[in-house]
Structure 1
Amino acid sequence: MTGYLLKENYFDKAVLPVGSTEYHGEHLPFGTDTLVADSLAQAVSQRVEGMLCLPVLPIGMSRHYASFPISLTLSTETLIHVLKDVIDSLNQHGVRRLLIVNGHDGNIPAIETAAREYRFDHPEMKIASLDSWWVTATELLPKGTFEVWDGLGHAGEGETSIMLNVAPELVNMSKARGHVPSLPKHVGVKWLFKEITPYGVTGDPTKATSEKGILMWNALVDHLVSFIHDMDEAGWTVDKDT
């Protein structure tokens, strides 16, 4: 976008995609999380009036994936500072409604901390986040859409499916192989990724299809667009009566 286009359009809200650069098995690109988050953010901004799509943040907190090749990482503390600085920049320019579209599990604590701490000092800034699109997509689609592990996992059935929609030319299904770890329910074990998979993959990417990916992508975009419209009507408050 040029400065001229910015002047000719009114933006009162923005969407910030946050990704990562890390190993996604032998069948998916390192930028999978970045590509998915960016594609969702761009699609939402194109359908919501007054929403500016910001450049994607391509490196996140991936320390738990560091045993696999070329997994780049920021510390949680660094990511918190980066997010706060971006949020503050928007606030200074009068853009005070922000949707964060996150593409990577390791970013969730930093996003939560940055948003809540910034809002404590600047309550005029309204922030929402799609923390885990992979969980949301499973919840939005009919039960039985996915064959293994509800489509979840790192480079698994769901993530591989959505990549077959977002960037099929970057997916090599001949190299796809999965591993479903035996993890306890209800209590989360703080694993290192090498402890739960020998391949850098969890779930079963061999069950992925572009058709599932299209369903996921459309459901997520539609949901986010509807969410933003509802938030605009409510003045970005969670209780319309206040």
Structure 2
Amino acid sequence: MSSPAPATKDRARPVPPPLRLDSAPWPDIAAVAAHSLLAVPLGATEQHGPHLPFTVDTDIAVALCERLALSRPAVILAPPVPYGSSGEHAGFPGTLSIGRAAMEVLLVELVRSADDFAGVVLVCAHGGNAEPVRRATEQLRAEGRNVLSWLPTGDPADSHAGHQETSAVLALRPGTVRGDRAEPGCTRPLRDLMPTLRRSGLRAVTPNGVLGDPTRASASDGHRLLGTWAQSLQSAVHAWAGPVTHARTPQPRAVR
């Protein structure tokens, strides 16, 4: 019997999991915070049509932060902010919104409290948060804080609970998708709907809460889309924070 082939230096080593505030004690964070970026997922709790859960935006933001942390060293994951500015969805039971003003204040105070880190990356997957995120980022930068905000882009005629988001959820949490309830909604570009949406809310333009057509969504499309978004996020962070180094963030010590 031949002996096993010797290990080679070219064999890829497993990538250790990133540090997470929801599972690491403070001494482990203190040891690396000054050289680490804090990635904060920003989501929402709002309706996503008759076929998707209320946590779509939060789930996507968390997944993108996790991919960012695996793509470069010294990224620490914060728990997500699961509520946002979702007032336009108020006509659908279950939607919870804190409004634009509260969202802006929350982000300003949150990032101010994170001065121990080298910088903060706000990863927002809810379009309704775009304005408060922009305003908060401008204020924080004016205060001299190192902060980057990023939002994904997509088809303006498929902006909510349509093909893109349904595919993403099929890739991330397929058990939460009610495919038997998926149906097209309004497919007009979002910019054409904004006057009515701002005046009367989303239900005035789409009774089922969908902007797009989810009926042909697939997990494979979702994986491709998440990969595209993750690459865009990674490129933005690279341009802002510089290239990665070869040393990874030290891992938490085992609890004995």
TM > 0.5? yes
Give the structure 2 partner of residue 126 of structure 1. 146
Q: Tell me which amino acid in the other structure corresponds to 1:5.
A: D
Residues 209 and 184 of structure 1: CA distance in aligned 2, closer, same or farther (over 3 Å) = closer
SS of 1:72's partner is: coil
Letter of the 2:59 counterpart: L
* Residues 185 and 22 of structure 1, relative CA distance in 2, 3 Å threshold: closer
Q: TM-score, normalised by structure 2?
A: 0.78
Partner of 2:119: 97
Structure number with greater Rg is: 2
User: What residue number does 2:101 align with?
Assistant: 77
1:3 counterpart (13, 26, 29): 26
**How many residue pairs get matched?**
216
State the Cα distance separating 1:85 from its structure 2 match: 0.8
Percent identical residues? 25
- 1:116 corresponds to which residue? 138
What is residue 239 of structure 1 aligned with on the other side?
Answer: none
1:157 corresponds in structure 2 to 163
Q: Which runs of 5+ in 2 are unaligned?
A: 1-23, 244-256
TM-score by length of 1: 0.82
Change (3 A) 1:216 1:166: same
- The letter of the residue matching 1:3 is W
Separation (CA, whole Å) in 2 of partners of 1:4 and 1:205: 46
Cα separation, 2, equivalents of 1:26 and 1:160: 11
Aligned AA for 1:170? T
Residues in 2 aligned to 1:195 and 1:37: alpha-carbon distance in whole angstroms? 27
Contact preservation (8 Å) 1:134, 1:159: no
- Give the Å deviation of 1:178: 1.2
1:157, 1:207 within 8 Å by CA — same for their partners in 2? yes
Pick the aligned partner of 2:242 from 223, 233, 241. Answer: 233
Residue 177 (str. 1) matches residue 183 (str. 2): yes
- Structure 1 stretches lacking a partner, 5+ long: 139-148, 235-242
Three-state SS of the structure 2 residue aligned to 1:214 is helix
CA contact (8 A) 1:181 1:196 kept: no
Report the Cα distance in structure 1 between the residues aligned to 2:177 and 2:211, rounded to whole angstroms.
16
- Counterpart among 62, 66, 71 of residue 47 in structure 1: 71
Instruction: Quote the Cα distance in structure 2 between the aligned partners of 1:77 and 1:96.
Output: 27
Q: Shift of residue 81 of structure 1? A: 0.8
Q: CA RMSD in A?
A: 2.1
Give, in whole Å, the separation in 1 of the partners of 2:95 and 2:139. 28
3-state DSSP class of the match of 2:102? helix
State whether structure 2 residue 97 is matched by structure 1 residue 88. no
Shift of 1:198: 0.9
Q: Is residue 197 of structure 2 the alignment partner of residue 197 of structure 1?
A: no
- The answer to whether the 8 A contact 2:196-2:204 is kept is no
